Amino acid sequence: MRKQTINIGDEYGAEYAGKYVFQEITWAKRSRIIQKHTKYHPISGQVQSSDFIAIQAESIWASLKEQPQSSPVTLERLLGEENGVPIPFGELFSQVVNSLCALTREETAFLSEPSDAKNPTQPSPTSDSAKNSAGPQPNSPTNPPEPSTSTPSSSTK
């Protein structure tokens, strides 16, 4: 599995200075993290919501194999709103983990939006023929009425 080491100076604060080693996580681990923080519709199975921040934080935490002895990074700090890590520091970690674990920009967009906000499914080029096979269509310039071969019958009283 691939590894990446980054050395941080004092640019994010003295407490974060040191060596950090990240290792690629498996597809199964990444999938479990995503499913853990994603809510699905019970009947259709469509994604209702995803907690992208929790997914990213757990991915970083799972990938982080070494950090300075003071252990300045914890899952709670990655998720923390009041006592969290500095934004540029967290963004740097996100970039490292996303490149190691191959989380693409499309996957990131998918995870940050409800599934009905953007439908990636393309319409089929044969969908028109499926519509036309449903039975007789109303008269149109491309579908003129067929001439009648029956003659009206007359009734006698």
**Tokens for 18?**
């040191």
- Residues 8, 75: Cα–Cα separation, whole Å: 19
Average pLDDT over residues 1-20: 94
CA distance 127 to 115: 23
Exposed/middle/buried for residue 55 (C-beta within 10 Å: 0-12, 13-18, 19+): buried
Tell me what pLDDT residue 136 has.
55
Q: Which of residues 136 and 110 earns the better pLDDT score? A: 110
What is the rounded distance in angstroms from the CA atom of residue 4 to the CA atom of residue 23?
6
Q: What is the mean pLDDT of residues 147-152?
A: 56
Highest-confidence segment of 54-68, 96-110, 140-154: 54-68
pLDDT at 151: 55
- Who has greater pLDDT, 105 or 47? 47
Question: Contact, 53 vs 75, CB < 8 A?
Answer: no
* pLDDT tens digits along 84-95: 999 999 999 999
Segments of 9-100 assigned E as strands: 18-23, 38-40, 47-50, 64-66
The 10s digit of each residue's pLDDT in 23-62 is 999 989 999 999 999 999 999 999 999 999 999 999 999 9
Give 19's strand partners.
Answer: 7
